[in-house]
Chains A and B, each alone.
Chain A
Amino acid sequence: MMKFLFMMIFMIPLCFMKNMFWLVQMMLFFMMFLFMNLNLNIMCFFNMSYMSYCDIISFGLILLSIWICSLMIMASESLFKLNFYFNFFLFNVIFLLIMLYLTFSVLNLLLFYFFFEASLIPTLLLIIGWGYQPERIQAGMYLLFYTLFGSLPLLMGIIYIFNDLNTMTIYFLKFFNMNMYLLYISMIFAFLVKMPMYFVHLWLPKAHVEAPVSGSMILAGIMLKLGGYGLLRVMIFLQEVNLKLNYIWIIISLVGGLFISMKCFCQVDMKSLIAYSSVAHMSMVIGGIMVMNYWGFIGSYILMISHGLCSSGMFCLANINYERLHSRSLYINSGMMNFMPSMSLWWFLLLSSNMAAPPSLNLLGEISLINSLVSWSNISMILLMMISFFSAGYSLYLYSYIQHGKYFQGLYSFYVWFISWVFIIIFALISFKYDNFKGWFYFYLILNKK
């Protein structure tokens, strides 16, 4: 595990050398290839050392982090071409990757909290430094203060756990049962804000819309999953009190997910629509984790991975349109199939995955989550049915509005296609489909082992 940390640290000087933009990006691909070939054991912890470890959850999320970071650099080619502080941008991305890698691999709860918070700084710098509109400053403040407001009780909870149990090692917490309501609220609130759950989701549409393509990709791809990862870890020692209080979070997230899905139909901004759809998907993830059954955990994890890939791809596609048309409005970006018919294939594949159409990994996650939530209560079937229906609805709405029909008459000419974009989209989809087969295979393995 240390070798990857050293590899990332020693990539930092490369960021400031001349003409190293693509080398840094290729090194990240290489690192991902190395990480994939670790001796993965899906049923226990491996590569354990004094400070770090890896299990199937950490492994998948670290892999996703490295992948998304390399795609972020690829998608931000325009910064390199326009010579817009790309050295500092690369340093930002590598620093963010180091923080995310350490967040997912540390054994200590306090260190997890430290890196969880530290990952906000490069994200804020990405939004404020490379964002497009003046509203990005307010969006950055929303992101920062929403997360900080939620995570201060988390810090107090961690310190209380250390005072009480004399340990903060995540691995040992499974032997304890902390049956305290205040501790429970303080531990999970930060992660619910990060996910985000309905009522505390207001930072997400602002941050996603105002962020540049790289910021949107990392926010949708990994930063939301930090909340899910945190919930998966802390639920181990909060099971008893969670079984009493999970009603609140499940109902808020499911009903909220329904309202957010309906709000997607009111959006005129492509990125805003994709951002709200992320909230709807994460609401199902929260429901699956809070239900506290095996299929719920598995489904949440699979949906986190699949949504990370799918949502990042969609933001990438939205940025492709934005770079050419200089607008994210659906009215301007209509009838794109007339100009870029090959792009409509990618839009369709990613939006069909977003609506959990087969054979996407999203389908596997949603099936597992639906099973787990319906096993918890039959009445949740109504909400899940409506969320899934509206998810298909707004995905098709976005696709048909952008691709079909007449194009906006006032468009100026633009370059249709850069070859590098082909690679980004292909890589996003290949990883998605590869994870899909891997996901179904692991699902089969896990069920049989059980």
Chain B
Amino acid sequence: MSGYGFSETDCKIILKQIERRAKFRQEFLKLKSDPCKHSQEAGYVFDPAIQRFLSMKSCQVEYFKPCFRTARFAILTIIVPMCTLGVLIWNDRTEREQKIRRGELRYKDRLFKLA
């Protein structure tokens, strides 16, 4: 393999990886094709990586620590848009109400009369 642009060390590492991968593949195929395993025991071949990921997702909230950074994120992304929209909607509705009271918006021009 050293003739293909790899050094001796790289070759050894690649061969070890191939060997390890083949060993895991054999183990996986052996577990998957075990005739005594069926969905009553477990639905799929147990994978520690998937289990670690699923456990991480389910316990994520417990590792949350409020700090200045998270508080700033919450205020800027949640509170500020809500307040901004609130002000915009309030102004829009107040202006429409004032137009109606001043007679600038005639009854026939009002939308959603029968809603």
Please name all residues of chain A whose beta carbon is closer than 8 Å to the beta carbon of B57 when the two chains form the complex: 268-269
A43 at the interface (CB under 8 A from B): no
In angstroms, Cα B95 to Cα A378, docked, is: 12
A414 near B78 with CB under 8 A, answer no
Q: Given A135-B58, A293-B115, A410-B45 in contact, is the A251-B82 Cβ separation under 8 Å?
A: yes
A325 near B111 with CB under 8 A, answer no
A324 near B115 with CB under 8 A, answer no
B54 near A325 with CB under 8 A, answer no
B115 near A379 with CB under 8 A, answer no
B90 near A412 with CB under 8 A, answer no
In angstroms, Cα B39 to Cα A331, docked, is: 17
B45 near A255 with CB under 8 A, answer no
Please name all residues of chain A whose beta carbon is closer than 8 Å to the beta carbon of B112 when the two chains form the complex: 371, 374-375
B50 near A414 with CB under 8 A, answer no
User: Which of A251, A269, A296, A450 has the largest count of B CB atoms less than 10 A from its CB?
Assistant: A251
B43 near A252 with CB under 8 A, answer no
Partner of B92, one of A254, A255, A379: A379
Please name all residues of chain A whose beta carbon is closer than 8 Å to the beta carbon of B47 when the two chains form the complex: 410
A251 near B85 with CB under 8 A, answer yes
In angstroms, Cα B52 to Cα A198, docked, is: 30
A325 near B44 with CB under 8 A, answer yes
B38 near A412 with CB under 8 A, answer yes
B111 near A375 with CB under 8 A, answer yes
Q: Could you tell me the dominant secondary structure of chain B's interface residues?
A: helix
A332 near B43 with CB under 8 A, answer yes
Classify chain B: how many residues form its interface, as a range: 20 to 34
Partner of A412, one of B42, B54, B115: B42
Q: Given A329-B50, A408-B44 in contact, is the A413-B82 Cβ separation under 8 Å?
A: no
Classify chain A: how many residues form its interface, as a range: 35 or more
Q: Per-residue 0/1 for A390-425: is the Cβ within 8 Å of any B Cβ (1 yes, 0 no)?
A: 000000000000000000111111110000000000
B93 at the interface (CB under 8 A from A): yes
A95 at the interface (CB under 8 A from B): no
Partner of A247, one of B42, B50, B86: B86
A379 near B39 with CB under 8 A, answer no
Q: What residue of chain B has the Cβ atom nearest to residue A332's Cβ?
A: B44
B44 near A412 with CB under 8 A, answer yes
A379 near B111 with CB under 8 A, answer no
Q: What residue of chain A has the Cβ atom nearest to residue B37's Cβ?
A: A412
User: Which of B58, B81, B85, B93 has the largest count of A CB atoms less than 10 A from its CB?
Assistant: B85
Q: Given A371-B112, A371-B115 in contact, is the A326-B42 Cβ separation under 8 Å?
A: yes
A372 at the interface (CB under 8 A from B): yes
Please name all residues of chain B whose beta carbon is closer than 8 Å to the beta carbon of A372 when the two chains form the complex: 115
B77 vs chain A, min Cβ distance (A): 8
In angstroms, Cα B43 to Cα A415, docked, is: 11
In angstroms, Cα B88 to Cα A374, docked, is: 14
A255 near B115 with CB under 8 A, answer no
A327 at the interface (CB under 8 A from B): yes
A383 vs chain B, min Cβ distance (A): 8
In angstroms, Cα B25 to Cα A410, docked, is: 11
Q: Given A255-B81, A380-B89 in contact, is the A329-B43 Cβ separation under 8 Å?
A: no
B32 at the interface (CB under 8 A from A): yes
Which 10 residue pairs across A and B have the least CB separation, nearest first? A375-B112, A326-B43, A410-B45, A414-B39, A325-B43, A375-B115, A410-B44, A377-B89, A295-B115, A251-B86
A-B contact pairs, 5 of them (CB 8 A): A251-B89, A268-B53, A324-B43, A325-B43, A375-B115
Q: Report B's interface with A, CB cutoff 8 A.
A: 28, 31-32, 37-39, 41-45, 47, 50, 53-54, 57-58, 78, 81-82, 85-86, 88-90, 92-93, 111-112, 114-115
